[in-house]
Amino acid sequence: MAADATAQKLRRRTLAWIVGIAMAGLMFDGYDLVVYGTVVSTFLRDPAQIGPVDPALAGALGSYALLGVLVGALIAGSIGDRIGRRRMMIAAYAWFSLGMLFTALAHSAAMFGILRFTTGLGVGALLATTAAMVSEYAPPGRRNLYNAVTYAGVPLGSLAAAGIAILLAEHIGWRGMFAIGALPLITLLPLAILRMPESVMWLVSHGRVEEARAIAARTGVALPDQEPAPRRSETEATGYRGLFGEFLIPAVLIGLVSATGLLLVYSLNTWLPELMMRSGFDARGSLSFLLVLNGGAVLGPMFAARFADRMGPRPVVAASFIVGALAILALTLALPLWLLLCVVALVGVGTSGTQTLIYGLAANYFPTRMRGAGVAWCAGFGRLGGVGGPLIGGFLIGAGLSITKIFMVLGALALLGAVLAICVPRRA
């Protein structure tokens, strides 16, 4: 009995470290998501920064980081199931921190875009691995909840970016805003090296049972049941081969769901301040909408994840998309400020909050031998939508569409996401 209590205490401590480190890493992903949106108006209005920037170029610059995330996630998916979760996450922390630091030194739009792409490689590798690591340490029946807690780091980081921009941007400039994103290099990276263990599940699935047993004893995590040695054909069905061999239809659908969600996330986080400025709010007031948007994204998934653990994440993802669609359409109405802020919070629940649930869906849908590839596909292919987010916002604004029509387009995309989520086949 005492041994069981000790093991439970060790497991709780281990899980707290893993979730804490992973959440902190994703906070910087969320910071990276929003920091460009906080400075894009400066680029549009001041050619002395990185040269002349029009809405089309601004949208393209916002998309370069997302192309990097796409490439980084897909590369991580191809090797993450082979080299392990821990190594991939540590490398990602170092990579994107250096990318943010060098971005702060850019002096041209071309260099800025190249460095944004480079930074995105590290962010993509992190996104492709975090959900797999957390799911493999979280207790059964609470994996969606722990993923929601972890991925709350994304909107928390977005909140931090918006808050720092409101308080400090005029003092530290856009270069200071990007330099802040390099802090993990001296804070999070050393902590991860010291305190983050390798996934016991991953070690067992690769036949490294003795290493898994040692880590299980040190962390209090139960050693998974060892299955009979798989046949050669089953051994080969790992990573992307297993994903697109055994799970082709759900993988494609989950990728499309993620792409739809990220299109909404990145279009709103990039262009919402500019849209609100065009609606009559000043620069500081328009940035406050980013705070409210991402505040809703923090709280909503915590509530929804409990239902996802009971009912499965598919219907909860669909319902969250519908909430987002209705809230976006409500932005077309003439609302008093207090009600407008409430609606923007619901938009955050139905966009960034929905994306948190989508990562949980991917992490818990696929088995261990292809879980890293499944999450990488969700994060990587989904970034095609993320790439389109800044571009579609720049295109719609550049085409002269009214703000009402722009929000109607985004609301229709949220409804499409709900339909795609319902179409994902059910799986125990």
Distant-in-sequence, close-in-space partners of 129: CB < 8 Å, separation ≥ 6: 76, 80, 85, 88, 89, 92, 372, 375, 376
Per-residue pLDDT at 238: 67
What's the CATH class of domain 2-423?
mainly alpha
Distant-in-sequence, close-in-space partners of 343: CB < 8 Å, separation ≥ 6: 327, 330, 331, 335
- pLDDT at residue 363 greater than cutoff 90: no
| Six-digit token string for 111 | 């260099």
Q: Hey, CA dihedral for 62, 65, 68, 73, is it positive or negative?
A: negative
Cβ contact 141:90 at 8 Å: no
Rounded to a whole number, what is the distance in angstroms from the first to the last CA of the chain? 32
- pLDDT at residue 232 greater than cutoff 50: no
User: pLDDT tens digits for 322-334?
Assistant: 999 999 999 888 7
Per-residue pLDDT at 204: 86
- pLDDT at residue 114 greater than cutoff 90: yes
User: pLDDT tens digits for 192-210?
Assistant: 999 999 988 888 877 888 8
- pLDDT at residue 264 greater than cutoff 80: yes
Q: Which of 389, 388, 28 is nearest to 178 (CA)?
A: 28
Tokens 């059964």, residue?
140
Alpha carbon of 232 to those of 201, 236, 256, 423: distances in Å? 20, 6, 32, 33
**pTM of the complete model:** 0.74
Per-residue pLDDT at 226: 52
| Six-digit token string for 304 | 């929804």
Write down the domain spans for the chain.
Answer: 2-423
Query: Which 8-state DSSP code applies to residue 108?
Result: S
Cβ contact 93:127 at 8 Å: no
User: pLDDT tens digits for 55-102?
Assistant: 788 878 877 887 888 888 888 877 777 788 899 999 999 999 999 999
Per-residue pLDDT at 235: 47
Per-residue pLDDT at 284: 66
Cβ contact 29:127 at 8 Å: yes
Pairwise CA distance, residues 356 & 405, whole Å: 27
Distant-in-sequence, close-in-space partners of 239: CB < 8 Å, separation ≥ 6: 77, 78, 81, 82, 369, 370, 372, 373
